[in-house]
Amino acid sequence: MAMSTPSSQAGEPPATKPTVVLVALWGVSHFAPMVEVGKRLLALSGGHSLAVDVLVVPSPTGKWEAEIFERISREEASGLDIRFHHLPAVEPPTDYMHIAGIEEFVSRYVQLYVPHLKAIVVSGLACPVAAVVIDIFCTTLLDAPQELGVPAYVFLISSAAMAAVLLRSPSLDEEVPAQIEFVELEGGVDVPGLPPVPASNLPTGLDNRKIPTYKWFVYNGRRYMETDGIIINTIAELEPSVLAAITDGRCTRGIPTPPVYTIGPVVAIAPPAEDKHECVRWLDSQPPASVLFLCFGGGGGYFSVAQVHDIARGLERSGHRFLWVLRGQPEPGTKLPTDANLAQLLPDGFVERTKDRALVWPARAPQKEVLAHAAVGGFVTHCGWSSITESLWFGVPTLPWPHAAEQHFNAFMLVAEMGVAVGMKLDKERSNFVEAAELERAVKAVMGDGEAARKVRERAMEMKAACRKAVEEGGSSVVSLQRLHDALIQGAVEPKK
């Protein structure tokens, strides 16, 4: 699809306000927070001081395309001064099937868009450019703003801890001899501001120095230092020690990092739907804080039959109420889960035996509406950062069940650093399998009346209060966002031709 601007802008005089160029990836969990950052910047001054242009990188596979276009249509209809430009399709790297990890693929794929980014910044925007803001693994795109003399920022949709481990990775790579794997280090991996990190909890790709993806983690961490600022989807009160380590230069061997802006939690909260979802209606009939919610993200959430049966046994034996979003295996040639056939997946008689205290939902569910409900008292999550920020926003303690990417690292943070979760043993060698007995133990620990449950509930409620305060007037994230806004205005330049 060719570059375009929305029809609502046609015929209007060229903007004179500095524009922030957001480069948005095709995944909803990346696209939505990036656009939300633009909306928050506009809200600071009612849209009078900045404009926002979003460059939409097309999906190389078509995954998420329909949902992204639907979101763009909603944003264009909102009347906000946000212009969307659809970048043209390009052929992905020809050897992408052999690339070790998604991080390397994304880095190499978006690098093909450097000429397109330069062209639209130079000739597609009729105003000074305040900055180009790139996604977490898109540092190959930094070549474009650098060549044009335009400020560049990186937006991490993940935690400050993730920023720390990425910034730390170049020096860690130099300090640990190449022949030694991180799993061999006694006491875990040293990331300033964090407890020692077990190698098994490092983000996938950074935990194995033999694969190409490892080099891309180090590469991205090194290039963050070339930016004019690092924007993070967190709040200062959630990760104070790791933020201090970043800003003090302890993650970068004393070399000052670019300014850090904590502007989270970036959670877009829509008004309640007029017609309640069936899951929400079911929750209306449950006691307060009595239901365990199991949901594993929009792009995943499907399990083998053997794992489904162990989940069912663990939930049934726990004795607690639950709302389980259970998805089916993807269709051949696709990666997204399908609506589940409960009769084929669940053990015989399970639905009948648990019908008085449970709902198994076989399709997508409105996660934020469910987490907001007073009946929900715990959340089994795959530990994507968006899901974590939503659980913190609503004050719901978690049972982490990570699968891939940075999710194991997030799970470690939830338990060891933030104290808002009860840990659960899983077998990474068996696709992160969790035995029925372990799930039963963990459910009882987070949903029961014991000391562990009390502590995580209290901590989750403290984080809920901190998140709400951070985005109120004078709150830490609002102050940080204002600093970012002012830096963008002051740094606006005409790009080099």
Residues tagged active-site: 30, 135
Determine how β-strand 129-135 pairs with β-strand 19-24: parallel
Identity at 105, one-letter amino acid code = F
Q: What is each CA distance from 121 to 33, 133, 443, in whole angstroms?
A: 22, 12, 52
Give the Cβ contact number of residue 104 at 10 Å. 22
**Terminal-residue alpha carbon distance, the chain:** 25
CA 421/CA 399 separation, integer angstroms: 6
Dig out the tokens for 303 from the structure. 């399990």
E strand intervals along 39-151:
51-56, 82-86, 129-135
Helix ranges restricted to H, 3-101: 28-44, 65-77
Across the chain, which distance is largest between two alpha carbons, in Å?
A: 70
CA 431/CA 292 separation, integer angstroms: 23
Please list, in sequence order, all residues whose beta carbon lies within 8 angstroms of the beta carbon of residue 301, skipping any fewer than 6 positions away: 295, 325, 326, 327, 337, 382
CA 238/CA 385 separation, integer angstroms: 13
Q: Tokens 């180090």 label which residue?
A: 218
Dig out the tokens for 355 from the structure. 């019908």
Identity at 420, one-letter amino acid code = V
CA 251/CA 256 separation, integer angstroms: 9
In total, the chain counts a number of residues equal to 497
Helix ranges restricted to H, 274-396: 278-284, 305-318, 342-345, 350-354, 367-371, 385-393
| φ and ψ of 91, to 5 deg | -70, 125
Question: Contacts by 219-222 with C-beta closer than 8 Å and gap 24+?
Answer: 219/107, 219/139, 220/103, 220/107, 220/136, 220/137, 220/139, 220/166, 221/166, 221/167, 221/168, 221/169, 221/170, 222/169, 222/170
CA 444/CA 447 separation, integer angstroms: 5
Which of 64, 68, 117, 66 is closest to 90 using CA atoms?
117
Dig out the tokens for 210 from the structure. 């033999």
